[in-house]
Amino acid sequence: MFVCGVNLNAYKTEYDVISNASCTTNCLAPIAKVLHDEFGIVEGLMTTVHATTATQKTVDGPSNKDWRGGRGAGANIIPSSTGAAKAVGKVIPELNGKLTGMAFRVPTPDVSVVDLTARLKKGASYEEIKKVMKRASENELKGILSYTEDSVVSTDFIGSEFSSVFDAEAGISLNDNFVKIIAKM
């Protein structure tokens, strides 16, 4: 499994089949990489607020996955599983076993959000984190990670070409070692 800007350098031309991972993994991995490379992630919880997908039911009905998965997508906020946090452990081996996550499927047609709440090894103010994310978006992750301080909402990202857009104004910190990072996909 590969994520551009994160572990694409491990790709070998002899691979016959490759995976570019999920949209959630492609949003989470760049911000997790920047955060981990600069400050070290001790552990983290990820939640994605995910737009409706084609696999969801339009009205209540049976689901092979779980009871909630059979509920109508257009009228419910549906808690669900996601493998994105575990997948990040595959593309960033140092984070293997340090992240887990869940999803909420919401009745919106496009654009999803990743919320990464992490405990950091090296303390950093939220302002420092913003500077590091901005620098990464202008350098090594240019074209993959974007950075915004605008007062944006989900529809502002329809048509975005970026895997991940760090929303600088949406994140918060409790202290220098416990932060919540928000990115859009």
Q: pLDDT tens digits, residue range 107-143?
A: 999 999 999 999 999 999 999 999 999 999 999 999 9
- For residue 120, the model assigns a pLDDT of 99
Q: Is 4 a catalytic residue?
A: no
Q: Are strands 145-148 and 164-167 parallel, antiparallel or unpaired?
A: parallel
Could you confirm whether domain 8-52+78-184 is CATH 1.10.645.10?
no
A 10 A CB-CB count for 82 gives 22
> 3-class SS at 94?
helix
> Exactly one of 21, 23, 95, 99 is catalytic; which is it?
23
Q: pLDDT tens digits, residue range 48-80?
A: 999 999 999 999 999 888 899 999 999 999 999
Q: Where are the domains of the chain?
A: 8-52+78-184
Q: pLDDT tens digits, residue range 18-59?
A: 788 889 999 999 999 999 999 999 999 999 999 999 999 999
